[in-house]
């Protein structure tokens, strides 16, 4: 409460003082640059609050060219800053405050500024009373926690804020004409104030008749009166409440069935009237809405999306939403043939050769402002890929979700969702992936793992946002957490069982003119598969991956952590009459196959500041990302090298209507991790053999007995002894990435 009162006082001082927005702190020839700004003698307010009150600001990162922003002294605003600070303190209860300034010359045209504040003795409340609340218990409830009490500072901002809160509460409890009158007397010598608040509630009223007037000039009416009344959740006989009337309007707006909604009393309530009649005036909107868009992305090449919404599909205004998304256009069959327009990373991904799509049909109930546990049902079909990792085909699936399942009322700032997902699909991956991760090296076992399986999962997700700006935050936090469970108890196949938990936290702060972003992400997956060869099995699409523009930017997409390699050639070695297939570091690496892991920790630290050129459009950024992705439980696949990989980098942020376009260059000083190496031989008789060719492997090979036959390799683990040639040169170690919106 104390911090809130100080914030309100700062706002009041800004309101009373001259507008700060008109200041001109840009530097021209002859101006003096403000290197630093200090406050001395302040006890009641922190330096951060005082700095937000004055117009004079110091340069950011002074002395650093092309990075910091120079700010110079405006003599007119500097003189007004004294009055701003004095007004702030006097409204807070310090009538004798005095503000002086000291300007120190650091060097020609560069100064330090110090505001010296003598707060003086505070004025305190010696007597406080709230009159007019004795006749009704609800009046006393509305006056609870009034921010002014005997013995506290005589803070006029807090007094006015308390009055406004009291009136708002009364008008939400049934007193539509409630007012609160303020009166106070001060004794300057004694430093005391007597304060009195008089409540004039008027007559308490209930909602009477609610009339509905629908304007159909812009479209045919489809929503019945009964549905409108049910959606408003406001009934005759309820106590009059401004908040509930506003909620009723919001409920109607959220159906998207109306272009305009007004819910107002029929006329000014006469004194003593205990009934307030309301009229809802509605303008019918379009029943159908269609949207579409096309774009281009680094890993998706060309992509397109579209949606069609029926806002009154069922009699109670339930919405039907049809959605379709397509990506890999130009690369993926059957819409391939435009490889030259696609980025090199996408061309190197084998799963981008298949068109990715997602189509869904969602039936959603209109959301009311006072309603939690809102259900929705989605039926979908999709083919989606993860870069270089897998391709997931889902011919049919469905999701039943419930918003805020454990809340009595919806929580707009901390929403949660409970969902049940049931789908039939299969996950395709490189043979080397299944051989290295699941020891499934023969065709029959790989085919079994890649057959259509039934996946049933229960998921609970929770988020909490406290941001000062949703598009370009400079202060606040974001917290997200997700729990996911799949087992035979809820309908999943025996091989599709797991527990998965993930979460991330982001902090945004403004420090010395720069926005500091800190972010931590963690994830954990436990396989619950049963049966021979499937103990602890984690489906490929549920494994954790890292690397790319939203995790550790020094690594390419999904390439942080364990990996296996597909090489283009190998040598045949014979030792003591035994033949082996082995590749050395000179072998050409055709593909890196990320295998993911079951444990992930990622941390990011980033600083952003305005560019000296086009500061409203461009921001510069410096960052350091750190992460580790590994397999618990003695898995043969482990990430080598340092336990935690750290990659620094620089970036540019370009403002756009869709959010900031992030262009980053992360520096990766590490060698590629050691991993198992495999060679995909040409199919013979419909069989495509997979040979382990890791250096030093001891899997004996029986050469082909005749032409047209295949060499046979002994079964066994493929050692992670192959390491590709290290990338050399500074620029070859830079990993560029592009992202739109907040990455964390």
* pLDDT given at position 491: 94
Give Cα 110 to chain centroid, integer Å: 41
Threshold 0.85, pTM exceeds: no
ω before 334 within 30° of 0 (cis)?
A: yes
d(CA 105, CA 113): 9
DSSP state of 388: T
Tokens coding 660: 């900031």
**Rounded distance, CA 324 to CA 383, Å?**
12
Topology of domain 2-118 in CATH is: Ubiquitin-like (UB roll) (3.10.20)
pLDDT averaged over the chain?
86
How many C-beta atoms surround the C-beta of residue 317 within 10 A? 22
| Calpha distance 435→399 (Å, rounded) | 32
- Band (pLDDT 50/70/90 cuts) for residue 502 is very high
Cα 232 from Cα 224, distance rounded (Å) = 13
For residues 39 and 46, what is the distance between their CA atoms, to the nearest angstrom?
A: 9
Q: Is 16 helix (H, G, I), strand (E, B) or coil?
A: helix
d(CA 147, CA 166): 10
When mean pLDDT is compared across 77-91, 95-109, 634-648, 684-698, the lowest value belongs to 634-648
In this prediction, residue 687 carries a pLDDT of: 67
pLDDT more than 70, % of the chain:
90
Both tokens of 380, joined, read 């979908």
Phi (first) and psi of residue 49, to 5 degrees: -65, -45
Q: Would the pLDDT of 497 be above 80?
A: yes
Same fold across 2-118 and 124-200: yes
Question: Does the pLDDT value for residue 473 go beyond 70?
Answer: yes
Whether residue 4 has pLDDT greater than 60: no
More confident residue, 314 or 108: 108
If one compares 545 and 432, the residue with the highest pLDDT of the two is: 545
**Average of per-residue pLDDT across 30-52:** 90
Q: Are 463 and 415 in contact (CB under 8 A)?
A: yes
In this predicted structure, what is the pLDDT of residue 98? 95
The model's pLDDT over 598-625, given as tens digits with 9 standing for 90+, comes to: 999 999 999 998 888 887 788 999 999 9
Higher pLDDT, 381 or 714: 381
Confidence of residue 271 (pLDDT cuts 50, 70, 90): low
Q: Lowest-confidence range among 67-71, 268-272, 389-393, 497-501? A: 268-272
What are the C-alpha distances in Å from 626 to residues 550, 639, 672?
A: 12, 14, 16
Q: Report, in angstroms and rounded to the nearest whole number, the Rg of the chain calculated over CA atoms.
A: 33
Question: Among 444-448, 647-651, 695-699, where is mean pLDDT lowest?
Answer: 444-448
The CATH code that applies to domain 124-200 is 3.10.20.310
Question: What confidence score (pLDDT) does residue 314 get?
Answer: 75
Pull the structure tokens for residue 576: 């003591």
Q: Domain-by-domain residue ranges, the chain?
A: 2-118, 124-200, 206-284
Top-confidence residue, 14 or 686: 686
Neighbouring C-beta atoms of residue 552, cutoff 10 Å: 30
Nearest CA to 352 out of 402, 388, 399, 323 is that of 388
Tens of pLDDT, residue by residue over 81-111, are 999 999 999 999 999 999 999 999 999 889 9
Tell whether the model's pLDDT for residue 471 goes beyond 60.
yes
- Separation between Cα atoms, residue 125 and residue 146, nearest integer Å: 13
Phi/psi of residue 576, nearest 5 degrees: 55, 40
Lateral strand order in the sheet of 110-118: 33-40, 110-118, 98-107
Residue 636: which pLDDT band, with cuts at 50, 70 and 90? very low
pLDDT tens-place string over residues 209-248:
999 988 877 777 778 888 888 888 888 999 999 999 988 8
**Would you say residue 19 has pLDDT above 80?**
no
Q: Find the mean pLDDT for residues 183-211.
A: 91
For residue 279, pLDDT beyond 70:
yes
Query: What percent of the chain is predicted at pLDDT more than 90?
Result: 43
pLDDT score recorded for residue 3: 36
pLDDT: which is higher, 445 or 211: 211
What are the tens digits of pLDDT across the range 571-585? 999 988 899 999 887
- The tokens 């991790």 sit on which residue? 673
pLDDT surpassing 50 at residue 10: no
Q: Is 9 exposed, middle or buried (0-12, 13-18, 19+ CB in 10 A)?
A: buried
CATH superfamily membership of 206-284: membrane protein fhac (3.10.20.310)
Beta bridge partners of 102: 114
């Amino acid at each position: 409460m104390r911090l809130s009162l100080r914030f309100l006082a700062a706002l009041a001082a800004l309101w009373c003082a001259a507008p700060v927005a008109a200041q001109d702190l840009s530097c021209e020839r002859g101006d003096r640059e403000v290197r630093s700004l200090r406050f001395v003698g302040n006890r009641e307010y922190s330096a951060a609050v005082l700095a937000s009150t004055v117009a004079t600001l110091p340069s950011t990162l002074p002395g650093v060219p092309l990075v910091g922003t120079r700010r110079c002294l405006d003599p007119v605003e500097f003189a007004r800053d004294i009055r701003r600070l004095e007004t702030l303190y006097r409204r807070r209860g310090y009538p004798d405050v005095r503000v002086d300034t000291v300007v120190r010359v650091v060097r020609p045209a560069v100064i330090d500024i110090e505001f010296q504040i003598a707060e003086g003795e505070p004025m305190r409340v010696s007597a406080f009373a709230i009159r007019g609340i004795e006749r009704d218990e609800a009046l006393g409830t509305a006056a609870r926690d009034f921010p002014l009490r005997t013995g506290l500072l005589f803070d006029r901002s807090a007094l006015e804020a308390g009055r406004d809160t009291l009136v708002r509460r009364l008008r939400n409890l049934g007193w539509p004409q409630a007012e609160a009158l303020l009166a106070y007397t001060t004794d300057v010598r004694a430093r005391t104030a007597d304060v009195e608040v008089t409540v004039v509630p008027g007559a308490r009223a209930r909602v009477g008749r609610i009339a509905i007037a629908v304007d159909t000039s812009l479209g045919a009416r489809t929503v019945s009166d009964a549905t409108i009344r049910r959606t408003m959740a406001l009934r005759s006989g309820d106590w009059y409440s401004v908040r509930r009337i506003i909620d009723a309007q919001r409920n109607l707006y959220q159906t998207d069935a109306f272009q305009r909604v007004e819910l107002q009393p029929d006329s000014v309530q006469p004194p003593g009237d205990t009934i307030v009649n309301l009229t809802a005036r509605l303008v019918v909107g379009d029943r159908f809405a269609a949207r579409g868009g096309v774009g281009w992305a680094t890993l998706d090449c060309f992509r397109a999306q579209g949606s069609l919404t029926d806002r009154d599909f069922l009699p109670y205004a339930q919405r039907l939403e049809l959605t379709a998304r397509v990506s890999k256009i130009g690369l993926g069959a059957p819409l391939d043939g435009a490889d030259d327009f696609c980025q090199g990373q996408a061309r190197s991904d084998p799963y981008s050769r298949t068109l990715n799509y997602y189509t869904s049909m969602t039936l959603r109930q209109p959301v009311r402002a006072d309603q939690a546990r809102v259900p929705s049902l989605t039926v979908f079909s999709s083919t989606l890929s993860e870069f270089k990792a897998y391709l997931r085909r889902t011919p049919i699936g469905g999701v039943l979700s419930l918003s805020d399942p454990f809340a009595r009322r919806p929580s707009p700032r901390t929403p949660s969702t409970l969902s049940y997902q049931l789908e039939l699909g299969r996950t395709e991956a490189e043979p080397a992936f299944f051989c290295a991760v699941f020891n499934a090296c023969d065709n029959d076992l790989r085919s079994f793992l890649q057959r259509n399986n039934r996946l049933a999962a229960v998921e609970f997700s929770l988020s909490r946002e406290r941001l000062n700006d949703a598009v370009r935050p400079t202060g606040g936090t974001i917290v997200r957490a997700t729990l996911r469970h799949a087992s035979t108890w809820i309908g999943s196949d025996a091989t599709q069982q797991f527990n998965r938990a993930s979460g991330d936290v982001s902090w945004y702060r403004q420090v010395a003119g720069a926005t500091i972003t800190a972010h931590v992400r963690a994830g954990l997956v436990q396989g619950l598969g049963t049966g021979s060869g499937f103990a602890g099995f984690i489906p490929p699409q549920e494994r954790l991956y890292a690397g790319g523009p939203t995790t550790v930017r020094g690594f390419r997409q999904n390439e942080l952590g364990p990996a296996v390699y597909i090489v283009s050639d190998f040598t045949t070695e014979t030792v003591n009459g035994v033949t082996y297939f082995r590749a050395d570091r000179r072998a050409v690496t055709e593909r890196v196959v990320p295998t993911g892991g079951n444990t992930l920790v990622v941390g990011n630290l980033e600083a952003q500041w305005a560019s000296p050129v086009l500061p409203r459009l461009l921001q510069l950024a410096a960052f350091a990302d750190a992460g580790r992705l590994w397999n618990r439980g003695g898995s043969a696949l482990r990430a080598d090298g340092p336990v935690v990989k750290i990659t620094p980098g620089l970036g540019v942020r370009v403002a756009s209507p869709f959010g900031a376009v992030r262009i980053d260059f992360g520096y990766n000083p590490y060698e590629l991790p050691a991993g198992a190496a495999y060679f995909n031989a040409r199919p013979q008789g419909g069989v495509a053999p997979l040979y382990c060719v890791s250096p030093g492997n001891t899997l004996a090979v029986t050469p082909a007995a005749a032409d047209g036959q295949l060499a046979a390799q002994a079964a066994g683990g493929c050692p992670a002894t192959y390491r590709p040639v290290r990338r050399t040169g500074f620029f070859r170690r830079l990993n560029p990435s592009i992202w739109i919106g907040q990455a964390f």
